[in-house]
Amino acid sequence: MTRYLAAFACLAIIGCDPTEDDTDTDTDDGVCENGVVSTYPENNAYYRDTIEVTFKAKDDNATITVSTGGTDVPGVSVWSESGKTLVFTPTNALVPETTYDVAISYECGEPDFSFTTSVVGDASTAADLIDKTYVLDLASGRFVKPAGVGPLLQQYLTIDILIGVTDANATTIEMLGALADDGSVAIVQDMCTESIAFPAAADFTENPYFSVGPDNTTISVMGYTISIDDLAISGAFAPDGTYIAGAVLAGAVDTRPLIPLIDETQDDDYLCNLVGTMAGVECEACSDGTGDFCLTLLVTNIAADLEPDLTLVERTANDIAADASCP
């Protein structure tokens, strides 16, 4: 089950907790009932990240002001679906290796915090990325949607997802996905599982940032066809190509074909009932109009380190059927 839930997280497209503050601020009338629970990001932040403040309760008059060197950063603040986190999205990408100051204003006071951005943001050499393979640490990601599903999935995410660059130029990147062999000590491709073909080449015009989708696609796993709506993947390569920063995986997956991978005896609503019971999450209507069996996931800031000397190869169902070493 561990393996298939990991595959589910990968195919669904596909958290670290924010910095805990958990302080209240006194007002002239006594102790304020509201308070800042957490702030995000920490130091070594991704240059295209958001700035977030989570409160004990929503304050419609709360504001976030981000600045560097005394100059305010333009952007837009909106409340998250939970209604307790105010999210500031900069208009433009932040500058690498720069300190930013964040001023918070709300009903209980005006706390502040600072963070620095990482080295990621300078352009990479496209040709140097070809044949590189990266290992996605799904459990390291921030599960933004649906709220509360992160702890449920993270306890099962023990298998590695591999992303390989098959071609790259100044404007596009071709990628191939695969599952790692969970029976191997070393990180190697599982040659008995079909590789994952991305629906289109990734846009690389904002080097080192790449993005692919959103596109509707289907993926085959263990003989089952999985439908994914609005599949989108993005991230940015480190200047030396040794890791991908800020990887984001998003999409809406039809949970029904995944159920036989977990328990062949269960009904179509089994997986939706599972996440509903354990995380309070409701499945949504699928685009084909067949019912509320789809789950939308958004996972951000997934760590993806380079695995040296590993190059992915395409594996089809026919390849696997013809391979005597595959069960």
User: Do 185 and 62 reside in the same domain of the chain?
Assistant: no
User: Do 201 and 67 reside in the same domain of the chain?
Assistant: no
- pLDDT at residue number 6: 46
Last residue of a domain, one of 60, 85, 116: 116
The total number of structural domains in the chain stands at 2
The answer on pLDDT for 13 being more than 80 is: no
> How many helices (H) does the chain have, and how many strands (E)?
6, 19
Q: Mean of the pLDDT values across residues 190-203?
A: 87
d(Cα 75, Cα 280) in Å, to the nearest integer? Answer: 32
- The DSSP line for 107-129 is TTB--EEEEEB-SBTBPP-HHHH
Domain at 67, CATH number: 2.60.40.1220
User: Do 309 and 212 reside in the same domain of the chain?
Assistant: yes
The answer on pLDDT for 16 being more than 80 is: no
Does residue 326 lie within any of the structural domains? no
Burial letters 251-274, b for 16+ CB under 10 A, else e? bbbbbbbbbebbeeeeeebbbbeb
User: Do 189 and 288 reside in the same domain of the chain?
Assistant: yes
233 or 322: which leads in pLDDT = 322
d(Cα 205, Cα 211) in Å, to the nearest integer? Answer: 9
Residue-wise pLDDT for 237-257, tens only, equals 999 999 999 999 888 888 887
d(Cα 271, Cα 6) in Å, to the nearest integer? Answer: 14
Q: Where are the beta strands (DSSP E) in the chain?
A: 19-27, 30-40, 51-55, 63-68, 71-72, 75-79, 85-90, 99-105, 112-116, 133-137, 142-145, 161-168, 172-179, 196-197, 202-206, 209-221, 224-237, 243-254, 294-306
Three-state secondary-structure class, residue 318: helix
- pLDDT at residue number 87: 97
Q: Mean of the pLDDT values across residues 185-207?
A: 89
Q: Residue 154: give the domain boundaries.
A: 2-14+124-321
User: Do 171 and 66 reside in the same domain of the chain?
Assistant: no
Does residue 44 lie within any of the structural domains? yes
Q: Do residues 139 and 154 touch, judged by C-beta distance below 8 A?
A: yes
User: Do 165 and 248 reside in the same domain of the chain?
Assistant: yes
- pLDDT at residue number 50: 96
Does residue 327 lie within any of the structural domains? no
User: Do 161 and 140 reside in the same domain of the chain?
Assistant: yes
Q: How confident is the model at residue 2 (pLDDT cuts 50, 70, 90)?
A: very low
107 or 143: which leads in pLDDT = 107
d(Cα 5, Cα 118) in Å, to the nearest integer? Answer: 32
Residue-wise pLDDT for 270-279, tens only, equals 888 888 887 7
The answer on pLDDT for 27 being more than 70 is: no
User: Do 25 and 140 reside in the same domain of the chain?
Assistant: no
- pLDDT at residue number 1: 43
Alpha helices in 157-239 (DSSP H): none
User: Do 97 and 239 reside in the same domain of the chain?
Assistant: no
The answer on pLDDT for 102 being more than 70 is: yes
